Structure 1
Amino acid sequence: MLAATQDIVVDGWALTMLSKRNVRYQSTCNIMGQRVGFLSNTVFLLLNSVNFCNRYIRSEPYDTGILTLTSFHFFGGCVFIVTTTLILMFIRERTEPEELRSIEGVLGTYAQLLRILKLRQIQEYALVCLTIKVGFTAAEKISGLKLVEAGVPKENISLLQVPLQMFNLVLPLLIAKFIWPTPKRPLDVMLKTMPYRLIIGLVCMSLVWWASSVRLEDGEFPYYFYVAMFLSHALKLVTITTMSIAFVTFHNEISDPLIGGTYTTLLNTVLNLGTQWPNTVTLYFLDILTFTSCHGATDGQRYNCLNANDVNGSQVAVTSHSEASEQQF
């Protein structure tokens, strides 16, 4: 509840704090701020990994990582409280014009919001937001899991995310400055970006298929495989960031300053729902669309398929099939 309240307040604050000609930069600041938060995911995975800490940081190995989930949550909570308290103490609001105070209270705001939801254009746009990411979900969300399943170490994937996240952090600024300086029709930019994102999804699927054939005898992967992973992820980030900026810019342009924060957050929430439900459905159907087959074992040995060898010492191979990949274990 606290995070949702803060989200609404910041969205509305940007609409009233920035001048009319600078409101378009709110989307860039919004995306860059979220990317700073995403860094915590990568940093935590690295510092929580025993193998990574012992290999790259410590001189003497330990049984645990540097960070635990408990200590990381405590640190994040402290940052949340300190930053919010600093804003409370040192930031002063501007005096609003009379027309921006015409809607009184929470009930008046939600009554206006219900009228907005009844607009046919808003309903059609909500349908677009809820369905537009269906085509990207399987390739983008499952490919990482399938790479781990194919034997790519999680620590290496997390380590690869460090330069990607740094690139991801400055990418919104680069797009706003050089690639897309004057977004007059943001949804046109979003539509033109979609085919490239779909093509990169095919590249992610190809990496999963390729992983099983380039894996070395010692279980490691050649450097050029990681280079291909890095380039594909970098291109994917460009398309994701471009589409995200396009959506947020459009939301800012059509939001009424009278209820700007609620209006913008409503549209962003619908867009987030359009991201989350395909992820959930994809993960649910992953088990249904994945099956295993056992090679080299008799019917009585199939219960031991997940073990590398049966009781007689003969090799048993397990193959996992899905729409995206075919892996040998």
Structure 2
Amino acid sequence: MNKSSHGNTNTNLMKERKPKQKTDDEKDYSKEKISNNTDFYNVIFLLLLYTIQGVPIGVSSVVPLIIQDKVSYSQLSMLSLISIPFSLKLLWAPIIDAVYIKKFGRRKSWIIPLQLICSLLMIFYSLRVSTWLGERDGPINLYSLTSFFFILFFLMATQDIAVDGWALTMLSEKNKGLASICNILGQNIGYCVSQLSFLTLNNKKICFYLFKKYPFVDMNVFLKFWGLFILLLTILTFFKKEISNNKENENNKIIEQEKEHKNKSENISNVPKKDGNEFRNAKETYKNLYELLFLPPMKIFIILFLINRLPFASVEVATNFKMLKKGITKEEFAIFNPFFIPISIISPAIIGKIIQNTNPLNVYYYGYMLRYISNIVLSTLLPLTEYMYSNKTHIPQIFFYIYYLYIFGAQIFNNLCIDLMTVSSMGFQNVISDPQIGGTYMTFLNTINNMGSHMNPKNKLTDICTSLTLEQAKKDITKECKLVKEQDKYPGDILSKNTLDQNINPLNSNETDENSDDEEIRKWREKRLMQLKKRQELKKDGVYIDVIEKDFIPTVVKNACVVCHFYDNNFKRCHILHTHLIKLANIHLATKFIKVEAKNCLFFMNKLNIKVLPSLCLFIDGVLVKTCIGFEDFGNKDEFKTKDLELFLFKKNLIRNTEYNESDEED
């Protein structure tokens, strides 16, 4: 009895020790949790891959800003060729899908070498690019710059094909739509960060106050940094396992079985193996792409995405164009730009989170309707701008602040609607794309989308807006010609005392020519007369003044161009420099000439690292651009001429022209 009871007890204990079987719901929940964790890291990884695509675009966008003052607009237009690879990448997309090393990975076979070449080019050619930009006192080489960035764009366009294909299989079916958010968000981050970081760290004013007196980075350092960043990401990609090809393998097996069955039925004996003939695979991918064009749903997709932007073109283009004509300035428009940049980065992520579990086409439809509403709001800006600027003198300033907020809100609303349409359309493309030819499929759909944006008749509408005002432009040209004649008689950059007197006298006396009855010219003369009289009032003896330590910073910051002489009364060379500066100060009124006694300004002597007297410090907009030690920049001899000093200051942009007369040297 006891034995039996003991046996039953052991049996019950063994039953209790058996692991509890998980239900189907628990298994599904566990798998979903693992999938979500994996997708989180995959999204971060995709975001980095898309970010580096925006880096060459952002870096290339600052090139025109650097060289615009040194080349003509026709030469500058050559840089527009660098974006061609992104428009033509569909031509070689099937090759990227078909040709790869199986053991290495279908997408990694392309991504790793492409990124490696890109990073090495940026690292080893950074110094040459800096030289081609003229940063090292050399001539600008536009052909080399265009070729360099064209290669970078080609590499990144090809990498984009492979990444698009990988994104379709890297994420789970549930989160596949997140690939579109990674695409938009990553490229925006890469573009904005690379562009803004260079413009900030290369700016003389910002670097002077934050770091030191010279720009913190140039293109050489900047390209090396991003080259190393891409190289590190390439190493990370090497260790990333490409294990998301199950669906592709199943599709390939089905296709192979169908082909074998077809070949046997047709008694075809010599059938090449798929894995051994990449060129045949590429040929079939091109064939699939061709057949894709004639699918009924694809025909509808192509038509819709080619014409979907047409209704918005007139308002979104012509409104800003006409607002400028009605009185608002480009500078006022530029106030909003710093706010648009972070919003353009954040908005795709927020929109993607909101629409993650919804039908992309439904979201696209709502975005389309909202964009219509945003265009109605934008259309109200034109009459409002006309009213505000036609009554500018009578409207309180507070209403202008409200007006600027209204412009900002209307532009933000419009941009959010555009982002909503873009994110949802790309999410739809990710859902319908076939992973078997994912790179080609996504590239094809993106190309259709891009063609729709390029076919948007913005340029044509701009031409129409221009032609509508052609008659008015002809009248304006006539007036401009009259004004040019007047300005030639009384130039705007009158800096010497004698020329001031010579030009004020005829303006005071009503000496006019046959065109003087023009109202615009009369108003210009009154304005010019006030400017000249104001400048004459500022012209006093002893304009080359002594400045004490507490007035040094206000004087340097307040004036656009300042020439500061640190001197000691016991030094002969300081007195020589005094003589030349007094002569130039009497001529060049737009530049502030000051002198500072060194023993009374020791703090700034140390701050500016001045250890030799005389020293001449040149400031532009409060930033130190040059320190002349002794007479090194004037031949290092005491007998240099005032004209030599004037020419030196002219080359350093401290004065606007050279007016000193050589005959004055004899006096």
Give the TM bin, normalised by the shorter chain: 0.7 to 0.9
| 1:127 equivalenced with 2:280 (yes/no) | no
SS at match of 2:519: coil
Q: Cα offset for 1:136?
A: 1.3
Q: 1:21, 1:245 → 2: CA distance?
A: 16
Q: 2:198, 2:328 → 1: CA distance?
A: 15
| 1:205 equivalenced with 2:379 (yes/no) | yes
Q: 1:67, 1:142 → 2: CA distance?
A: 39
Aligned AA for 1:201? N
Aligned AA for 2:446? N
Aligned AA for 2:245? E
Structure 2 length as normaliser, TM-score?
Answer: 0.39
Match of 2:351 among 175, 179, 186: 175
The answer to which of 3-12 and 28-37 deviates more is 28-37
Aligned AA for 2:431? E
Q: 2:332, 2:225 → 1: CA distance?
A: 25
Q: 2:297, 2:326 → 1: CA distance?
A: 45
Checking the alignment, whether the CA contact within 8 Å between 1:44 and 1:72 is kept in structure 2 is no
The answer to which of 117-126 and 196-205 deviates more is 196-205
Q: Deviations over 1:236-257 (max 9, x none)?
A: 1221111112211111111111
Q: 2:479, 2:241 → 1: CA distance?
A: 69
| Matched residue, 2:366 | 192
Q: 1:307, 1:39 → 2: CA distance?
A: 41
Q: 1:48, 1:142 → 2: CA distance?
A: 35
SS at match of 2:292: helix
Residues 294, 17 of structure 1: alpha-carbon distance in 2 compared, 3 angstrom cutoff: closer
Match of 2:283 among 107, 122, 143: 107
Structure 1 length as normaliser, TM-score?
Answer: 0.74
Q: Cα offset for 1:66?
A: 9.7
Residues 282, 124 of structure 1: alpha-carbon distance in 2 compared, 3 angstrom cutoff: same
Q: Cα offset for 1:231?
A: 0.6
Aligned AA for 2:292? I
Residues 83, 157 of structure 1: alpha-carbon distance in 2 compared, 3 angstrom cutoff: farther
Checking the alignment, whether the CA contact within 8 Å between 1:308 and 1:315 is kept in structure 2 is no
Match of 2:481 among 293, 298, 304: 304
| 1:315 equivalenced with 2:519 (yes/no) | yes
Residues 107, 266 of structure 1: alpha-carbon distance in 2 compared, 3 angstrom cutoff: same
Checking the alignment, whether the CA contact within 8 Å between 2:177 and 2:356 is kept in structure 1 is no
SS at match of 2:336: helix
Match of 1:6 among 159, 163, 172: 159
Residues 286, 222 of structure 1: alpha-carbon distance in 2 compared, 3 angstrom cutoff: same
Q: 1:72, 1:306 → 2: CA distance?
A: 47
Q: 2:466, 2:304 → 1: CA distance?
A: 28
Q: Cα offset for 1:57?
A: 8.2
Q: Which runs of 5+ in 2 are unaligned?
A: 1-153, 210-214, 254-273, 488-514, 522-667
SS at match of 1:197: helix
| 1:259 equivalenced with 2:437 (yes/no) | yes
Checking the alignment, whether the CA contact within 8 Å between 1:296 and 1:315 is kept in structure 2 is no
Aligned AA for 2:412? A
SS at match of 1:274: helix
Checking the alignment, whether the CA contact within 8 Å between 2:178 and 2:356 is kept in structure 1 is no
Aligned AA for 1:244? T
Q: Work out the number of aligned pairs and report it.
A: 304
| Matched residue, 1:233 | 411
Higher-Rg member (1/2): 2
Q: 1:47, 1:223 → 2: CA distance?
A: 28
Checking the alignment, whether the CA contact within 8 Å between 1:47 and 1:67 is kept in structure 2 is no
Q: Cα offset for 1:295?
A: 11
Q: Deviations over 1:10-43 (max 9, x none)?
A: 2111101101111121122222223324536984
Q: Cα offset for 1:96?
A: 2.9
Trace 1:52-201 onto structure 2 (pairs within 5 A).
Answer: 78=227, 81-82=230-231, 85-86=234-235, 88-94=237-243, 96-97=245-246, 98-99=249-250, 105-178=281-354, 180-184=355-359, 186-201=360-375
Q: 2:326, 2:191 → 1: CA distance?
A: 25
Trace 1:213-292 onto structure 2 (pairs within 5 A).
Answer: 213-215=387-389, 216=392, 222-278=400-456, 279-292=458-471
Q: Deviations over 1:120-170 (max 9, x none)?
A: 221121011000001112322343344444454434433412223222322
Q: Cα offset for 1:72?
A: 11
Tell me the percent identity: 26
Q: 2:323, 2:175 → 1: CA distance?
A: 42
Q: 1:225, 1:8 → 2: CA distance?
A: 44
Checking the alignment, whether the CA contact within 8 Å between 2:207 and 2:216 is kept in structure 1 is no
Q: Deviations over 1:69-114 (max 9, x none)?
A: x789958974885476445544342263323656754222221111
Residues 122, 304 of structure 1: alpha-carbon distance in 2 compared, 3 angstrom cutoff: same
Q: 2:233, 2:169 → 1: CA distance?
A: 19
SS at match of 1:236: helix
Residues 86, 31 of structure 1: alpha-carbon distance in 2 compared, 3 angstrom cutoff: same
Q: 2:383, 2:328 → 1: CA distance?
A: 12
SS at match of 1:22: coil
Q: Which runs of 5+ in 1 are unaligned?
A: 60-64, 318-329
Checking the alignment, whether the CA contact within 8 Å between 1:204 and 1:232 is kept in structure 2 is yes
Q: Cα offset for 1:227?
A: 0.6
Q: 1:72, 1:151 → 2: CA distance?
A: 42
Q: Cα offset for 1:260?
A: 1.2
Q: 2:320, 2:225 → 1: CA distance?
A: 26
| Matched residue, 1:322 | none
Kindly report the root-mean-square deviation, in angstroms, between the aligned alpha carbons of the 2 structures.
4.1
Q: 2:172, 2:404 → 1: CA distance?
A: 44
Checking the alignment, whether the CA contact within 8 Å between 2:161 and 2:440 is kept in structure 1 is yes
